[in-house]
Amino acid sequence: MSRWQPDASGRLVKAALELYAERGYEQTTVAEIAARAGLTERTFFRHHADKREVLFGGSREMAEAFAAAVAEAPGSAAPIDAVAVGLDAIAEGFTGRLEFVRRRQAVIAASAELRERELVKLASLADALTVALRGRGVAEPAASLTAEAGIAAFKVGFARWVADPDDGELAHWTRDSLRALRAATGEG
């Protein structure tokens, strides 16, 4: 048998989410998280950059999937429609994970530091989206602005999905949010 229990990183994530939920983010020390995962504090920092980042694993993959979907959208699609394709792709990655997401969002909402880090992840998403749009030939500042609009739709749609008592589909909410955004900013 192996020298250590498997999935140290995942155990740390699980322990952190539990402890943040039980006693709050600020009242939890990294040493406590590591102890619950059967590891030491030093090992926590080998797997996760800091005490906040432990809740945001996979966000890079999400940005990559977003960018890939936007890049592969039909060449004839308008920038905002390519963004819509990307939103659908992201939403797909959340199917069946609503309960986990709800617990995670409750923890994030309760901590200013975690909310701050969440904004960084959304900004990274916006950056990846901007790059993908520029790859489609969209010039600045349209690329950045369309990306920001798409992230706004994602942000609001995500919040509505998490808050909705019914267990619906994230894509439903992001699509509706994008539609509402276009209506609210519409030139007509």
Partner DNA sequence: ACATCCACGACAGTCACTGACATCAGATGC
Partner DNA sequence: GCATCTGATGTCAGTGACTGTCGTGGATGT
Cα separation, 174 vs 182, in Å, equals: 12
134 binds a second copy (CB under 8 A): no
**Contacting range for a second copy; rule: CB under 8 A; set: 11-19, 67-75, 90-98, 149-157:** 149-157
Of 94-113, binders to a second copy (CB under 8 A) are none
Give the nearer residue to DNA in terms of CB position, either 37 or 82. 37
140 binds DNA (CB under 7 A): no
Give the nearer residue to DNA in terms of CB position, either 39 or 82. 39
Q: Burial code of 36-52, b = ≥16 C-beta within 10 A, e = fewer?
A: bbebeeebbbebbeebb
Cα separation, 108 vs 17, in Å, equals: 10
Task: State in angstroms the smallest separation of the CB of 38 from a second copy.
Answer: 31
4 binds DNA (CB under 7 A): yes
Q: Among all chains, which residue has been given the structure tokens 């955004």?
A: 181
Residue 96, phi-psi category: left (phi > 0), alpha (psi -120 to 50), beta (remainder): left
Sole binder of a second copy in the list 53, 144, 172, 175 (CB under 8 A)? 144
For residue 150, the surrounding DSSP H or E stretch is helix 142-163
- CB atoms under 10 Å from CB of 61, counted, come to 10
* Binding characters for DNA, 28-67, by CB under 7 A (x = yes): xxxx--x---xxxxxx-xxx-xxxx---------------
DSSP code of residue 55 = G
Cα separation, 18 vs 38, in Å, equals: 14
Task: State in angstroms the smallest separation of the CB of 158 from a second copy.
Answer: 11
Residues at the contact surface with DNA, assessed by CB under 7 A:
1-4, 8, 28-31, 34, 38-43, 45-47, 49-52
Residues at the contact surface with a second copy, assessed by CB under 8 A:
79-80, 115-117, 119-120, 123, 141-142, 144-146, 148-149, 152-153, 155-156, 160, 177, 180-188
